A and B are shown apart, each in its own frame.
Chain A
Amino acid sequence: MTQWRDTAFTTDVTACGRDFCLARLRDMLRIRRLEERCAQLYGDGKIRGFLHLYIGEEAVAAGVMPHLAPADNVVATYREHGHALLRGVAMNAIMAEMYGKREGCSRGRGGSMHLFDRATRFYGGNAIVGGGLPLAVGLALADKLAPRPGCVTACFFGEGAVAEGAFHESLNLAMLWRLPVIFICENNLYAMGTALARSESQIDLTKKAASYGLPTGHINGMNVLAVYEAAKQAVAYVREQQAPFFLELHTYRFRAHSMFDAELYRDKAEVERWKQHGPIHTFTDKLKAADMMNEADFERLDGEAEAEVDAAVAFAESGTWEALERLTADVYTPAGGVAA
């Protein structure tokens, strides 16, 4: 049975080429700048509710998402801004959703935790830990039965979900029925404030997946090239074999769990240590060291990301509020309304 470790993949930037590497850097910068602005807007009171930032974990979405085709499905968690963005949901629609505006990708009904987009088959934005896994299994079952051969469902979740029954039930069903799901565990070491070792008797999460017969991979989630290579092979496996795969990506969240988190459960020194492995600056350094990119290139990519964020904020600011008369709209499907 497949059980990959980090060493299985090349992370040589020169082998990947300049255009490819800049594209990955650009993807990560778009997420980073979007979320930094979100944090600022939260402070300004423009964004409310819960806001969970992905800052530090960008290499995961940036490494996985390029392998997914338009007909594939994506299921994510409440820390999903980056996944939605790289899946192709417009930053404007994401920002407007955070503002609670009608122009948001969920018409202001979802907010930060519930980004949805039919056009890109982005199925949330699920804020029950583990809740996305049975959903992903069902989407893959629909693909199998329809049938739509070759489709893949990518299901992102944190390591906290591994403690939920939904994780175990879903992996069992996916393997039992040979469903094309790639389970992507973003292991950032803390389930809100509880460290993995404080809550799990077995902290090698791949063993749990392997116990259901899934092939597994354990990858450094701070290295976008390692993630890219691993995801490439894992997605190809799922697509060709029409069977599930479990990928654990070791990563770290640089910011608090949410904007309400005082971070009393981890040392500042630990956070600083992990920041040394930050996916954006380490990748940037490598590209510069290999003479594949200079500071001007970085400034250009970064400037483009900032400009996109500026435009998204302007779009959200100029957005409109849903009419109160529509408060109870879309609780049920209207007669003759859009079917699933």
Chain B
Amino acid sequence: MTQTTYREALRAAHREALQRDPRVFIMGEDVGRYGGSYAVTKGLLDEFGEARIRDTPLSELGFVGAGIGAAIGGMRPIVEVMTVNFSLLALDPIVNTAAAMRHMSGGQFSVPVVIRMATGAGRQLAAQHSHSLEVWYAHVPGIKVLAPATLEDARGMLWPALQDHDPVVMFEHAQLYNLEGDLDDPPPTVDIEHAAVRRAGTALTIVTYGGSLPRAFAAAQALAGEGIDAEVIDLRVLRPLDMATVIASVRKTHRVLVVDEGWRSCSLAAEILAQVGEDAFYELDAPLARVCSEEVPIPYAKHLEDAALPSPSKIVAAARRLVPGHA
């Protein structure tokens, strides 16, 4: 066992990828000399050199598009975008080129690019650095979307993402970078296909991903104190969704609550609950439920930001409403 952080686990994953495959290179804003805006790539420039650790200008459209082109050209680029908010400047190459390329070329060109970005609120960065727009990408056929929420996934998801022939967008919740814990040595291998049951339970299923996983754990712990035994599912992969794991859990608990830091309307939570309604309606003993962000650009002031986001107490309150005798 090695004590590590989410950030260090990501860095180790990058180092390993650079060592194992000469086609892998990293590019993005401040990934080199500065060491990465979240310090994920710190030290890699000295270790691997300018050709493979490439600082870019503030040209999200340009360098994400170039990463896509380099992937089509046979390389295995890892493109880092500072935040999902900034990635909107690169939506065109991601959606119109990377996601569409294989299909519109009749299967001739795959796009094996990995695009990483920070997501999420909680650090008083206000309305242009805090949003959770994972669902924008999860909406699009042709790309795969990952949300590592644990040390194991931070360490393990990058390599299989690079082995994938199709574009992979990987979301790292900004509040997870300092997550600490122990990691097996050598680190476990993980897949990029399945959701994971992170806490087994019987009373209800809490489905979540990314930065909301620690909040769901905290809520499950509080609920356990009240005699409510919650199962917690970490989606891990936001497209394609592993609904089989979710439905299997719902068949066991008959109650489902989705926790999603995205805005409520047209959210991932909405999609997951719709699918539960379509495929497991008669398994349900309580209405479909969700805790999402309030429909507001994330505000700066701490108390307002906190109020806008899913929290353990909101999750606990929503869970109580689903379980008889606890409302």
Contact = CB atoms under 8 A, between A and B. Distances in A.
B68 interface: yes
A169 B63 CA distance: 8
Contact of B110 (A116, A134, A166, A339): A339
B100 to A, nearest CB: 9
A172 interface: yes
Interface stretch (B71-79, B150-158, B307-315): B71-79
B92 A173 contact: no
A73 interface: yes
Contacts of B111: 340
Contacts of A331: 102-103, 141-142
A118 B106 CA distance: 10
A249 B293 CA distance: 52
A160 interface: no
Contact of B59 (A117, A128, A142, A169): A169
A110 B73 contact: no
Contact of A138 (B59, B68, B105): B68
Contacts, number: 169
B92 A131 contact: yes
B194 to A, nearest CB: 15
B165 A128 contact: no
A124 B105 contact: yes
Contact of A117 (B25, B107, B108, B142): B108
A104 B106 contact: yes
Nearest to A135: B69
B106 A106 contact: yes
B112 interface: yes
Contacts of B102: 330-333
B183 to A, nearest CB: 29
B93 interface: yes
Given A118-B109, A172-B57, A131 B97 contact: yes
A61 B182 CA distance: 60
Interface string A151-195: 000000000000001100110110011000000000000000000
A268 B74 CA distance: 48
Interface in A112-160: 114, 116-118, 123-126, 128, 131, 133-143, 145-146
Contact of B97 (A108, A135, A143, A165): A135
A128 B142 contact: no
A296 interface: no
A255 interface: no
Interface in A314-340: 328-333, 337-340
A135 B72 contact: yes
B187 to A, nearest CB: 25
Given A135-B97, A145-B75, A146-B75, 19 more contacts: A109-B105, A114-B104, A116-B106, A118-B109, A128-B92, A134-B64, A134-B66, A135-B93, A138-B72, A140-B69, A141-B70, A142-B75, A146-B74, A169-B63, A330-B106, A331-B142, A333-B166, A340-B110, A340-B112
28 contacts: A105-B106, A109-B104, A109-B106, A116-B109, A118-B109, A123-B72, A131-B92, A134-B63, A135-B66, A137-B69, A138-B73, A138-B77, A140-B69, A141-B75, A142-B73, A143-B73, A145-B23, A145-B51, A165-B59, A166-B62, A166-B92, A329-B107, A330-B106, A332-B144, A332-B165, A333-B110, A333-B166, A340-B109
Interface of A: 73, 104-110, 114, 116-118, 123-126, 128, 131, 133-143, 145-146, 165-166, 169-170, 172-173, 176-177, 328-333, 337-340
Interface of B: 23, 25, 51-52, 54, 56-57, 59, 61-75, 77, 92-93, 96-97, 102-112, 141-142, 144, 164-166
